[in-house]
């Protein structure tokens, strides 16, 4: 019943922004990550919802410890770790269902191979410290043999620059550990015929100095794993071959400041993506990675209330999410954008410490404004030369019903007045569109779209927003 209510809810349902580059990426695709919904029980209703929203793909993290035999043992069990059939009965069931269901609906799949490791594969028998790269390679082989051609993109280890996911972080040692894990996994995938792109990184956005479980700033971690100094030059005495890869994965989360945040150097949030482009290009010039690597935003969301510590209001979440998507679209190196999560976290630490970045509230599964702006993102971009004109940027998320283009209705509302029709606007097969409009203080805009199957969708009212 709860699932049917969610699907029914879907069916009924002057701005100064960070600069974007001149060359936009009209082929950017969107992934959704929903681990609770897709990896427990029957994922079918949730996959249908993701497909209905117009997303292109899902991201699934296949955890080594989750499938390994006797993960709590200190000694490794005797089994053929490269053979997926040698793993415990039912070990792959949750991943089988999610991947098969996604492909049935035409959704592509990204798989992240990662930890925690079984205790027997780590030096301190804790699942985190110096996982055995050879054993990880065998696990990677098993996953590739099971899912192989059904996966469109692969990536290695989730947020390895976090001490709670990979240790030790002292002296940046985890960067070297990660390099060894990555290279073994890459060789394993290619060794069994995988031809899809393999991404490295999957890095968290900001460093901190917490001991043991802290975070190494992502660009510092990048340099360490590639044997580069602070100036992106080869470190003397270290020999690192050019890393084989087809892309870099990033999680550019922000804080309450959202897309307007400018964090300290070596950190990468959504508003400073050019930092990452520059860092990758410098590393390429040093011969550490291929040139002009594409960037995949594989995990991203905007934290909202009820988290009062780092979350923003529900309308702000909706607008910040759309602004962030426009930033990604405006950077020609960005290949994909992400929505994490589908529904907010709940349970212990619900208000403080959990992820409230979903499109539905945890309590009552109430749709947020961000749900509607996910289907119909809209940003109002002020013109520097005048306060009376602005440009609307938007997207009819290119799902099956929108891929041939169509027409939307643009509406506006001034303070104290109702919604009035402004214009009709055509959009092409990419779903993206823009239009110059008259602007005044406190004017809101929204978009309405009638899909080919008759479904009617309305985006939330979008206000002018300024950097906090």
User: For 365-421, how does the pLDDT look when each residue is reduced to its tens digit (9 = 90+)?
Assistant: 999 999 999 999 999 987 766 788 899 999 999 887 888 899 999 999 998 899 999
Give the pLDDT confidence score for residue 352 in this predicted structure.
Answer: 43
Tokens of 150: 């059904």
Share of the chain above pLDDT 70, in %: 92
Residue 4 confidence (pLDDT) above 70: no
Beta strands in 22-101 (DSSP E): 29-33, 57-63
How far apart, in Å, do the first and last CA atoms of the chain sit?
A: 41
- For residue 339, is it left (φ>0), alpha (ψ between -120 and 50) or beta? beta
Cα–Cα distance for residue pair 46/217, rounded to 1 Å: 34
Quick one: CATH architecture of 2-376? Alpha-Beta Barrel (3.20)
Give the pLDDT confidence score for residue 19 in this predicted structure.
Answer: 55
Radius of gyration of the chain (CA): 22
Model confidence band, residue 348 (pLDDT cutoffs 50, 70, 90): very low
Contact between 238 and 227 (Cβ < 8 Å)? yes
- 442-465: b (≥16 Cβ within 10 Å) or e: ebbbbbebebeeeeebbbbbbebb
Specify the pTM.
0.94
Model confidence band, residue 230 (pLDDT cutoffs 50, 70, 90): very high
Residue 350 confidence (pLDDT) above 50: no
Mean pLDDT score of the chain: 92
**Cα dihedral 129, 122, 241, 285 in deg (nearest 10):** -30
**CA nearest neighbour of 359 among 28, 32, 2, 30:** 32
Residue 11 confidence (pLDDT) above 60: no
Domain with CATH 3.20.20.80 in the chain: 2-376
Model confidence band, residue 349 (pLDDT cutoffs 50, 70, 90): very low
| More confident position, 123 or 10 | 123
Q: Which three-class secondary structure state does DSSP give residue 207?
A: coil
Question: Residue 326 is inside which H or E element, if any?
Answer: helix 314-329
Contact between 351 and 308 (Cβ < 8 Å)? yes
Q: Which of 1-15, 222-236, 382-396 has the lowest mean pLDDT?
A: 1-15
Contact between 463 and 442 (Cβ < 8 Å)? yes
**Length of the chain as a residue count:** 468
Which residues make Cβ contacts (< 8 Å) with residue 42, sequence separation at least 6?
A: 97
Model confidence band, residue 10 (pLDDT cutoffs 50, 70, 90): very low
For 380-458, the fitting CATH number among 3.90.105, 3.90.320, 2.60.40, 1.10.3470 is: 2.60.40
């Amino acid at each position: 019943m709860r699932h049917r209510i969610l699907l029914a809810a879907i069916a009924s349902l002057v701005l100064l922004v960070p600069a974007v580059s001149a060359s936009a990426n009209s082929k950017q695709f969107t992934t959704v990550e929903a681990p609770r919904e897709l990896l427990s029980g029957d994922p079918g209703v949730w996959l249908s919802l993701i497909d209905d929203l117009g997303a292109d793909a899902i991201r699934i993290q296949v955890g080594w410890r989750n499938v390994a035999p006797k993960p709590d043992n200190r000694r490794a069990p005797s089994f053929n770790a490269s053979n997926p059939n040698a793993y415990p009965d039912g070990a792959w069931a949750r991943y089988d269902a999610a991947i098969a269901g996604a492909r049935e609906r035409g959704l592509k799949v990204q798989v992240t191979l990662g930890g925690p490791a079984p205790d027997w594969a780590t030096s301190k028998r804790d699942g985190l410290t110096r996982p055995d790269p050879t054993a990880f390679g065998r696990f990677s082989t098993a996953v590739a043999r099971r899912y192989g051609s059904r996966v469109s993109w692969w990536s290695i280890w989730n947020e390895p620059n976090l001490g709670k996911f990979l240790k030790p972080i002292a002296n940046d040692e985890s960067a070297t550990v990660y390099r060894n894990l990555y290279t073994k996994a890459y060789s394993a995938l290619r060794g069994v015929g995988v031809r899809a792109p393999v991404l490295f990184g999957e890095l968290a956005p900001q460093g901190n100095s917490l001991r043991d479980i802290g975070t190494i700033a992502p660009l510092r971690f990048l340099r360490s794993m590639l044997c580069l100094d602070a100036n992106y030059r080869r470190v003397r005495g270290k020999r690192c071959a050019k890393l084989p890869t087809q892309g870099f994965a990033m999680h550019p989360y922000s804080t309450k400041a959202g897309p307007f945040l400018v964090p300290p150097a070596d950190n990468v949030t959504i508003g400073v993506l050019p930092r990452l482009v520059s860092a990758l290009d410098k590393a390429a010039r040093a011969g550490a990675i291929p040139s002009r690597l594409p960037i995949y935003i594989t995990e991203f969301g905007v934290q909202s209330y009820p988290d009062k510590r780092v979350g923003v209001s529900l309308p702000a979440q909706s607008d910040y999410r759309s602004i962030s998507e426009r930033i990604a679209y405006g950077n020609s190196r960005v290949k994909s954008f992400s929505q994490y999560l589908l529904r907010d976290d709940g349970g212990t630490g619900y208000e403080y410490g959990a992820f409230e970045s979903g499109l539905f509230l945890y309590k009552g599964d109430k749709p947020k404004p961000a749900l509607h702006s996910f289907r119909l993102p809209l940003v109002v971009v002020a013109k520097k030369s005048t306060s009376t004109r602005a440009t609307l940027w938007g997207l009819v998320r290119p799902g099956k019903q929108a891929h041939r283009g169509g027409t939307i209705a643009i509406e506006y509302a001034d303070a104290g007045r109702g919604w009035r029709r402004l214009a009709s606007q055509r959009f092409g097969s990419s779903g993206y569109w823009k239009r110059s409009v008259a602007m005044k203080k406190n004017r809101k805009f929204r978009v309405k779209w009638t899909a080919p199957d008759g479904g009617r969708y309305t985006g939330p009212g979008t206000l002018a927003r300024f950097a906090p």
